[in-house]
């Protein structure tokens, strides 16, 4: 297909497609002559992925390029490949300094991982952005005077493990390694807002059940 048809089928303006090509988010088409290239279904699929990351997930172009680079890197094993792609996504800032709240939160997270038996998560704790985000969030909560301890954190973690099982069960329904990593990233970018919204809807439902509408 030519560029105009690619634009029509994808819903992405021609100027935007050209920008994605220049930025390396989309592979060049097959050159027919000096001014014309031809694109295929793989270009269309990748363009939809790019659009989801940039327009819906609101990733900066440089971040999207890094994420896509990890998705395409078949020299890595699945766990490393998936981790690299997910870790390239925007993260909560690292803990601000090493005050008592950060230290207590880190100790609490370590106790939680030990109780859950999550030895792999413990092994990744020094490099995992998710681990640092967890410490940052718990430290901020404690700094505000809320005593969120391990007895409250563990039940949430167990529920999140069930979500992770569902996530990876879905990932494994896809054939190629690139598709599996791609859908894991898209699931994070596109489904996290859905999961957050479901939590809020559930809170509204439970609040109404407990307290009514007064």
161-207 confidence digits (pLDDT tens): 999 999 889 988 988 877 888 888 888 888 888 888 999 999 999 99
**Residues 89-113, mean pLDDT to the nearest whole number:** 83
Instruction: Express each pLDDT in 54-84 by its tens digit.
Output: 888 888 898 888 888 887 887 877 777 777 7
Contact 44, 9 (CB under 8 A): yes
Q: Is residue 134 part of a domain?
A: yes
The neighbour count for residue 137, using CB atoms within 10 Å, is 15
Q: How high is the pLDDT of residue 202?
A: 95
Contact 113, 121 (CB under 8 A): yes
Specify if 63 maps to a domain. Answer: no
Whether residue 93 is found in the same domain as residue 188: yes
Give how many domains the chain has, as a whole number: 2
Examine residue 71 and state whether it is found in any structural domain, yes or no.
Answer: no
Alpha helices in the chain, H assignment, sequence order: 3-10, 14-22, 41-51, 61-72, 78-87, 100-116, 119-123, 129-143, 150-171, 177-211
Q: Which domain covers residue 34, as residue numbers?
A: 3-56
């Amino acid at each position: 297909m030519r560029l105009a048809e690619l634009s029509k089928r994808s819903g992405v303006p021609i100027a935007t497609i050209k920008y994605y090509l220049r930025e390396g988010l989309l592979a060049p088409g097959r050159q027919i002559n000096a001014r014309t290239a031809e694109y295929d279904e793989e270009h269309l699929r990748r363009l939809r992925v790019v659009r989801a990351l940039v327009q819906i997930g609101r990733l900066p172009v440089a971040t999207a390029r890094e994420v896509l680079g990890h998705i395409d890197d078949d020299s890595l094993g699945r766990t490393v490949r998936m981790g690299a792609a997910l870790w390239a996504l925007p993260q909560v800032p690292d803990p601000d300094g090493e005050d008592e709240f950060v230290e207590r939160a880190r100790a609490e997270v370590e106790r939680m991982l030990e109780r859950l038996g999550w030895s792999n998560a413990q092994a990744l704790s020094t490099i995992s952005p998710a681990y640092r985000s967890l410490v940052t969030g718990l430290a901020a909560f404690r700094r505000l005077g809320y005593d969120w301890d391990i007895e409250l954190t563990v039940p949430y973690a167990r529920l999140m493990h069930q979500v992770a099982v569902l996530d990876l069960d879905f990932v494994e329904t896809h054939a190629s390694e690139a598709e599996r990593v791609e859908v894991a990233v898209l699931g994070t970018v596109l489904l996290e807002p859905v999961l957050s919204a479901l939590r809020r809807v559930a809170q509204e439902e439970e609040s109404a059940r407990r307290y009514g509408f007064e």
